[in-house]
Amino acid sequence: MSISTRTPLIYDESIGPYSAATTLKEVVYQYLKTLALTSPGERRWNKKFGIGLKHRLFERDSASLRSSIAASIREQIALYVPFARVVDIQFSSAESDGGYLSISLSYVIVTGASISDLQQVGWRSKADGTVETDGNSDSTNSDNTDASNSYDGDSSI
């Protein structure tokens, strides 16, 4: 059963004209990807929608930038994807990546009385000026993290 269209759009005869997200896990991943890569003001009918990571990941790394991005992620998810709960947001910056930020978001999906396994999605800037979204996994391991780069989740969100 199809729940939502998967992006990017790919023709798929088995389900319909386009491939589809068939699980809640896939749908939430698509929502988070769209929310993260949409810039505020980009949607004419809802100018507050979006985190704008396409631009923010290329700014000079600083504690205030990390704090601002983390706050935006939490606010936007609470408003537009309320069934996803942020567990942790990790930031890393490597000179090999041009010093640009990478972000890893850990979250759970809450439906009624049940909570999913820990999910992860990440975004990192690329040298060509684009942002790459890392796939969704059930792993809680993160190779580029330390306690100073961690923003722990808040159960009230």
**Domain containing 109 — which CATH number?**
3.10.450.40
Write down how long the chain is: 157
Tokens of 47: 């100018």
The residue range of the domain holding 69 is 4-152
User: Does residue 82 sit within a domain?
Assistant: yes
In this prediction, residue 30 carries a pLDDT of 86
User: Regarding beta strands 84-93 and 150-152, do their DSSP bridges make them parallel or antiparallel, or are they unpaired?
Assistant: antiparallel
User: Regarding beta strands 20-21 and 131-137, do their DSSP bridges make them parallel or antiparallel, or are they unpaired?
Assistant: unpaired
- Least reliable range by pLDDT among 9-18, 58-67, 94-103, 115-124: 9-18
pLDDT at 151 over 80: no
- What's the structural domain count of the chain? 1
User: Does residue 157 sit within a domain?
Assistant: no
